[in-house]
Structure 1
Amino acid sequence: MQNTQLTDSYQRQFTYLRLSVTDACNFRCNYCLPDGYCPTNSEPYLSLEEIQSVVSAFALNGIRKIRLTGGEPTLRKDLAEIMALCKSTTGIETLALTSNGYRINKQLKHYVDAGLDQLNLSIDSLVPETFRLITGHNKLTEVLMAVEQAISLGLKKVKINSVLMREYNNNEMQSFLNFVKDRPVSLRFIELMQTGDNQAFFKQQHVSGYSIQTMLEDNGWLAILREANAGPAIEYTHPNYAGTIGLIMPYSKNFCASCNRLRISSHGNMHLCLFAEEHHKLRPHLINEDTEQLAKRIRELLQHKGAAHSLQQGNSGSTQHLAMIGG
């Protein structure tokens, strides 16, 4: 089998796959699942065999980085097995995980042993009560412990995701900067994105990342050159800080021009964009087609990918909430 490169009709190259393993979540974040997880799909989640088919086909197409997402991926009891099969697939160089950190402390060593390289943890506030108001759980201490454990285990990258919200954490900027002063972590501020279920909340809480970008640049923070398999963050470093600050601004001009990532849902649907109207069902082909056939199918589907999302026009596509396909 000969490796190829995934390239769309706009000459963007894709080396990064976000693979959701469940849409279930044990948090009730106010910007995503304020009423908690409510199943909307009766299909089973992708099996280990099906995941192996997906990963092998994407690796044959030049995917080098896989991020396991949810919902909350640690709810899968076979997550370590999923990690091991991903990392052992020829061509996969980097394995990452995004988690809310709710229950990861007891399992993190097993995940690292299975091949985990990078960990993203969601911390939307460093104030315990605000964290509880956002997530529905008083678990900030446990998540902060997971950050320290990840650092001590020597993971290549430890990242903190924080969704910006005007009335909840927009006044915590100095606390967030202090957090990375002596910790070698990347703290990324993510602009709140409009989805089908959060339109009123979005209008009330959205904060542009430009003000933070200006503040960083005015205070000696310098932009870092983006790595080939990196996510969408613009990252900044400062000589007096051990950690870095990242900004993910999907409403910024030309945000989609550097897109390098594709998404597979926990039920086997291929999403060419987080906010596209349509998706493509791969599951019927996972067992019946060999790796080369499936890889060819993926390359053909990629040619339907649009130039950009339509978030600026208020169109969030078929994404009702971010837990559907892991953001």
Structure 2
Amino acid sequence: MTAHVRSEDGTAHARSETAPAPRPRVVMVDGVPMSGLVAEADGQPRAVVVALHGGASTAAYFDCPGHPRLSLLRLGARLGFTMIALDRPGYGSSAPYPDAIEHPEQRVALAYGAVDAMLGEKPRGAGLFVVAHSNGCELALRMAAHDRDGLIGLELAGTGLRYQDAALDILRDAGPTRRPPGLRQLLWEPADLYPPAVLTGITNSSTGAPYEAAMVRDWPGRDFPAVAAGVRVPVRFSHAEHERVWCSDAEALAGIADVFTNAPRFVTAEQDNAGHNLSLGVTAAAYHLKVLSFVEECVVSQGAEQQVAEKKMEVG
């Protein structure tokens, strides 16, 4: 089935109401293979959305096998966005290259390089928007703070500035190959908020990335506040109603807002009936619609800013 949409110049185009399955891609970036999933918009995209999964996961987090309704990638492509879910550096094809992913600046370069290689000369619409979950927020924030044009906004979920006490006790013993008792309860409860097949680990990676142990330790108190201050695009911060890893009460959310000192806009949102893994739960589609609504707002805002800049140039 197709729907007819009208572009800004008034031209009518046909756009499919169903999106094809995302395609797996592997590209080389400075000698390192980077893998991911790509779902392209039908025609000129509104923007390109780059999605970054959390720890011990893969790009499939955003396209859950056997559950197309939960897929951020399929929904985004259907709504006119080109969608890219990367296997973060240290996962997927890049896992055998630990020396190439040790430092944050290496990981930022690999992520941007992978996006550039996967897109090639294809249109980007208004620019790039980055969506990230849990450990993926570290890379997303560093990408947003990087001195690079073309980024229009940022969605963060499943992160924060303070661990809940019970979570901290469990996470101290976690590592790339260690899953301490209680970790499943932190990440996957309440169980009735996830489809049964999801709880079997169908989107999980067998190991985490080696650098993540230090990252988890230093993220809340040091790196998150320092990097957030360099973000100069709109930010949406989401937390689950049943988040068990991070503090997300009013005081915690106010503290998070305070570290984004240079973001032109910062909004928070709670997703009802959701646990830590927002994009795999029964309310994933609702969450994704809200995220993509924010992306659309950033697209419109970007267009308005460009029009103002063009008028100033004409006057000048």
Sort the TM-score into its range (normalised by shorter chain).
0.3 to 0.5
Q: Which structure's residues are more often helix, by fraction?
A: 2
Q: TM-score, with normalisation over the residues of structure 1?
A: 0.34
Structure with more contact order per residue of length (Cα contacts < 8 Å, sep ≥ 6): 1
